[in-house]
């Protein structure tokens, strides 16, 4: 790890002092047989998409900058959600979408509110952008506590409030009534991160549709990384009021979306049935893992996403994580995250990967 402190003998300046605490934040990429730690899709995108993309890539003028407005991609996304093209902003993964939102609406002197446990990058990106973070706790079953939400929001006047639904790492989706209540409480933007949205029974997109005037501040963030099986393409987007889109365009770097990525996203939308088929297959496998958990000494929670949170009861989580790694199965160790003492998170993989995970877990807990 590079020295980020006072600077080296060659006289490098130290980085911003407020960034020093962020060293070592990201999880390591480990070479194992079964990777179930980052909630990717275990299934590749369809061959038809790959063929169409290869044709499109051949037609790209790579000597030219890409189309800055990403019109084709945004029009296709707008069409798929029944919104205007001016309500869609795209970026390099939903993480960059979140970063643009925080660059535009957060920053020094402003506050972002979130409710933990939740997606750790909300806090992380807020801090990188110099935004103050205030956090409230979710209940023990990971549901929102609306009294806590009201108190946090009233006490901190957040410019941005984050929800994550389905929530990573609990898997729990906030109900439409809960999201609507929070939308009524917050003074600034309400950003609903729906990275796993296609697994969920509801979406904040419906809230926006139902009350356009009253929900101008509601932003829905989605990604191609999970259900679209395109984590390697790094593409995410938001659906929001045109003024929010314009604000994000202010802070995004020019030409940040390369031409191949724009084509990849646009063409993916021609394969909705295949995507829904993958979601159904993963949901079925998730049910199989959850059923197997019932026979093991673990506590677990219902999930509306492509992963399951669980707490080994017979052995420390870190020991179980190490046992799984020894069996070449990598899961996420969440045991030091706020509100998640003793918890691990497993991404739903291919049936044979899930079998390997369950066998290794059974062995570890024996």
Residues touching ligand PMP: how many (CB under 6 A)?
13
Residue 203 binds ligand PMP (CB under 6 A)? no
Q: Pinpoint the alpha helices (H) of the chain.
A: 47-58, 71-81, 93-105, 120-128, 146-156, 176-185, 204-210, 242-251, 259-268, 272-293, 317-326, 351-365
Cα–Cα separations (whole angstroms), residue 234 to 5, 95, 271, 335: 31, 9, 18, 28
Q: Which DSSP symbol is given to 338?
A: T
- If the CB atoms of residues 149 and 191 are measured against ligand PMP, the closer one turns out to be 191
Residue 229 binds ligand PMP (CB under 6 A)? no
Buried b or exposed e, range 173-189, using 16+ CB within 10 angstroms:
bbebebbbebbebbebb
- If the CB atoms of residues 193 and 323 are measured against ligand PMP, the closer one turns out to be 193
CB of 325 to ligand PMP, least distance (A): 20
- Window 39-58: contact mask with ligand PMP (x via CB under 6 A): x-------------------
CB of 17 to ligand PMP, least distance (A): 27
Could you say which of 223, 227, 347, 364 contacts ligand PMP (CB under 6 A)? Answer: 223
- If the CB atoms of residues 195 and 218 are measured against ligand PMP, the closer one turns out to be 195
CB of 197 to ligand PMP, least distance (A): 10
What is the C-alpha to C-alpha distance for residues 106 and 72, in angstroms, rounded to an integer?
Answer: 29
CB of 92 to ligand PMP, least distance (A): 8
Could you say which of 131, 161, 198, 225 contacts ligand PMP (CB under 6 A)? Answer: 225
Residue 89 binds ligand PMP (CB under 6 A)? no
Beta pairing, strands 329-330 & 307-312: unpaired
Q: Closest-CB residue for ligand PMP? A: 93
- If the CB atoms of residues 49 and 323 are measured against ligand PMP, the closer one turns out to be 49
Task: Tell me the window of 88-96, 126-134, 211-219, 275-283 that interacts with ligand PMP (CB under 6 A).
Answer: 88-96
What is the C-alpha to C-alpha distance for residues 310 and 151, in angstroms, rounded to an integer?
Answer: 30
CB of 13 to ligand PMP, least distance (A): 29
Residue 307 binds ligand PMP (CB under 6 A)? no
Residue 312 · residue 365 · CB < 8 Å:
yes
CB of 168 to ligand PMP, least distance (A): 4
Residue 271 binds ligand PMP (CB under 6 A)? no
Sheet hosting strand 332-333, strand order edge to edge: 298-300, 307-312, 344-347, 332-333
Residue 222 · residue 99 · CB < 8 Å:
no
Angle at 101 between CA 209 and CA 251, to 5 degrees: 125
Residue 198 binds ligand PMP (CB under 6 A)? no
- Window 163-182: contact mask with ligand PMP (x via CB under 6 A): -x---x--------------
- Window 57-86: contact mask with ligand PMP (x via CB under 6 A): ------------------------------
Residue 236 binds ligand PMP (CB under 6 A)? yes
What is the C-alpha to C-alpha distance for residues 217 and 226, in angstroms, rounded to an integer?
Answer: 26
Q: Hey, which residues between 95 and 134 contact ligand PMP (CB under 6 A)?
A: 95, 119
- Write a three-state SS string for 3-65: CCCCCCCCCCCCCCHHHHHHCCCCCCCCCCCEECCCCCCCCCCCHHHHHHHHHHHHCCCCCCC
Q: Which DSSP symbol is given to 199?
A: G
Task: Tell me the window of 56-64, 87-95, 278-286, 313-321 that interacts with ligand PMP (CB under 6 A).
Answer: 87-95
Residue 303 binds ligand PMP (CB under 6 A)? no
Question: Is the backbone peptide bond immediately before 328 cis, with ω within 30 degrees of 0?
Answer: no
- Greatest pairwise CA separation for the chain in angstroms: 61
Cα–Cα separations (whole angstroms), residue 59 to 46, 53, 75, 233: 21, 10, 20, 18
Residue 335 binds ligand PMP (CB under 6 A)? no
The binding site for ligand PMP (CB under 6 A) comprises 39, 93-95, 119, 164, 168, 193, 195, 223, 225, 231, 236
């Amino acid at each position: 790890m590079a020295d980020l402190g006072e600077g080296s003998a060659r006289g490098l300046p130290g980085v911003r002092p407020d960034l020093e605490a962020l060293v070592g934040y990201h999880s390591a990429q480990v070479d194992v047989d079964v990777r179930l730690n980052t909630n990717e899709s275990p299934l590749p995108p369809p061959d038809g998409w790959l063929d169409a993309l290869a044709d499109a890539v051949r037609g790209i003028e790579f000597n030219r900058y890409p189309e800055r407005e990403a019109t084709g991609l945004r029009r296709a996304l707008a069409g798929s959600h029944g919104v205007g093209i001016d309500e869609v902003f795209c970026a390099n993964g939903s993480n960059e979408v979140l970063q643009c939102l925080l660059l535009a609406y957060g920053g020094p002197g402003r506050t972002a509110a979130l409710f933990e446990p939740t997606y750790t990058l909300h806090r992380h990106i807020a801090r990188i952008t110099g935004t103050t973070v205030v956090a409230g706790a979710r209940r023990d079953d990971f549901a929102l506590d609306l009294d806590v939400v009201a108190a946090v929001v009233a006490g901190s006047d957040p410019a941005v409030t984050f929800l994550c639904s389905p929530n990573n790492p609990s898997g729990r989706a906030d109900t439409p009534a809960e999201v609507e209540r929070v939308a009524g409480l917050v003074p600034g933007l309400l950003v609903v991160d729906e990275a796993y949205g296609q697994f969920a029974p509801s979406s904040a997109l419906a809230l926006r549709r139902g009350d356009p005037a009253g929900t101008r501040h509601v932003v829905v963030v989605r990604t191609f990384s999970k259900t679209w099986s395109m984590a390697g393409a790094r593409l995410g987007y938001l659906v929001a009021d045109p003024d929010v889109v314009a604000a994000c365009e202010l802070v995004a770097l020019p030409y940040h979306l390369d031409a191949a990525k724009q084509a990849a996203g646009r063409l993916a939308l021609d394969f909705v049935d295949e995507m829904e088929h993958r979601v159904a297959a993963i949901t079925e496998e998730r049910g199989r893992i959850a059923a197997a958990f019932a026979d093991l000494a673990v506590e677990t929670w219902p999930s509306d996403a492509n992963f399951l949170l669980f707490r080994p009861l017979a052995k420390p989580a870190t020991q179980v994580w190490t046992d799984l790694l020894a069996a070449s199965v990598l899961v996420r160790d969440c045991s030091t995250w706020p509100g998640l003492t003793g918890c691990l998170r497993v991404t739903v993989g291919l049936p044979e990967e899930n079998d390997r995970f369950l066998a290794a877990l059974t062995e570890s807990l024996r």
